[in-house]
Amino acid sequence: MAATVFADLDAATMQTGAEGYGLIRDAAVAVEDGRIAWVGPEAEMPATWARAPRTGLGGRLMTPGLIDCHTHIVFGGSRAREFEMRLEGASYEQIARAGGGIASTVAATRAATEAELTAAALSRADTLIAEGVTVVEIKSGYGLDRETELRMLRAARAVARQRPVRVRTTFLGAHAVPPGQNADAYLDEVCLPTLRAAHAEGLVDAVDGFCEGIAFTPDQIARVFAAARDLNLPVKLHAEQLSHLGGTALAARMGALSADHVEYASVEDAAALARAGTVAVLLPGAFYTLRETQAPPLDAFRREGVAMAVATDWNPGSSPLGSLLLAMNMACTLFRLTPAEALAGTTRHAASALGLDDCGTIALGLRADLAVWDLTDPAELSYRIGGNPLHRRIYGGEA
C-alpha cells in the first residue's frame, strides 16, 4: 500500500457543515493511493497509520488544494493597449462595439497554432499552480469558429497532460457574436455544430455562455443549453455581469452548475439560485478591472443560502488576474466576503461549481489534493495582498 502520513500541521478542512474553516489543530492526514484515508487530531490517529512513513510539516497550515473554477487562460495576444484606452476614457462596452475587446482576442487566437496556445496556457497554469491550485477550469470562446474553438479545447486538455493539475474544460462558443455575423445564424451554423463536434472528440466537460447586451439574449442562451442537455452536458452561465437580463433565473431554471459574475442579480435571483443549488461564482477581478460599482447581492445570497465560489476569471480583457489568492483578497475587500467564505469559495464551493464531488475539502475518501502554507491563521490567505506563502502542494498524494 502506498501510504503516507502528513503530520505536525493545522488543517483547515473546509468540511461541509463545519464551523468556519473546519479547523483541526495538531492534525494528521493519512493518504493512501492518492486519496485521504484518515484526517483528525494526530493524538487520535489509529495505530495502523503510525507505521506509515511520516512527513512533518512544522506546524504549518494545510488547506484543500485551491480550485480556480472560472478561467479563460487559453488565448492569443494581449489587450494591454485597451487597458490604456480605458484609462483614456473609453468604456469596456464601447471598445467591444468598436471591434476591440473580445473580437481582438479572437483574431489573435485564430492566428495562433495549437502549440502556441498550449505554451501560453501552460505558463498561466504554472502561475496558478505555484499558488496551490490543483484544479483549473478552462473555457473556449475566443475562436468563434469550428477549428479555433476545437484548437482551444485541445490546448486546454494538453495542459492537463503536461502538468500535475486537473483541468475541466468548458465550451464557451456563445461568448460573443463574431464581427459581421448574425447571432442566430452564428448559433445555428457554427456554435451548436461545433459543440457537437467538440463533445464527440471528448473535449467538453461543461457548456457556458455570455448572456449580455453585447453578447447573447436569454432566449439564445436557452437554445445553447438545450443542445447541452441533449449531449448530457452540465451548463453554467456568465450572467448579470453588466446589466440584468434574466440570465441568472434562466441558469437556475436549467439546473446550471453555476451562474457567474452576478453583480446585477436580484433578490429573486438569489432565491432561485438557492432553490436550484446553483453556485454563484464571484469574479472580483473583472469587477475591479472594469471599475464596476454594483457589487453582487451578498446579503441576499447569504440569507437564501446560496453557495458562493470565487475565481480569477483570468482573461486578457476584463480580468488579467493570475492570482487566485488575490481574487480571495478582492472578494473580501470589494464584496465583503469573510476570509472563511473566500476560502470555501476557492475550495468546496468551487468544486461544486465544476460538478466535482471528489475534491474541495479535506475529508475521508477525497483526492489528496492539498496545499501547505507558511502560515498559521487561515485568514491570512485572504488578508495578504501579493507574495506567495505556499510551502508545498500535494497533488493526488504526491508532493
- At 28, the amino acid letter reads A
H or E stretch at 138: strand 133-139
**Nearer to Fe ion among residue 173 and residue 397 (C-beta):** 173
Minimum distance of ligand DI6 from residue 289's CB (angstroms)? 8
- Three cell numbers, residue 4: 503516507
The binder of 287, among ligand DI6, Fe ion, none, by C-beta within 5 to 8 A per type, is none
Map residues 229-248 to x or -, x wherever contact with ligand DI6 holds by CB under 6 A. ---------x--x-------
**Nearer to ligand DI6 among residue 315 and residue 346 (C-beta):** 315
119: Cβ contacts below 8 Å, ≥ 6 apart: none
Q: Is 313 in the site for Fe ion (CB under 5 A)?
A: yes
* Cα 341 to the center of its chain, rounded Å: 15
The binder of 175, among ligand DI6, Fe ion, none, by C-beta within 5 to 8 A per type, is ligand DI6
Burial classification of residue 181, based on how many CB atoms lie within 10 Å of its CB (0-12 exposed, 13-18 middle, 19 or more buried): middle
Map residues 65-84 to x or -, x wherever contact with ligand DI6 holds by CB under 6 A. --------------------
**Nearer to ligand DI6 among residue 60 and residue 261 (C-beta):** 261
Stretch that binds Fe ion, among 32-40, 110-118, 152-160, 313-321 (CB under 5 A): 313-321
The CA distances from residue 271 to 176, 277, 311, 354, in Å, are 29, 10, 22, 21
- DSSP assignment, residue 346? T
* Cα 197 to the center of its chain, rounded Å: 24
Map residue 38 onto helix, strand or coil: strand
**Nearer to ligand DI6 among residue 286 and residue 362 (C-beta):** 286
Q: Is 169 in the site for ligand DI6 (CB under 6 A)?
A: no
- DSSP assignment, residue 201? T
The binder of 284, among Fe ion, ligand DI6, none, by C-beta within 5 to 8 A per type, is none
Q: Is 286 in the site for ligand DI6 (CB under 6 A)?
A: yes
Q: Is 240 in the site for Fe ion (CB under 5 A)?
A: no
Place of cell 504549518: 60
Chain contacts with ligand DI6 (rule: CB under 6 A): 101-102, 105, 175, 210, 238, 241, 286, 313, 315-319
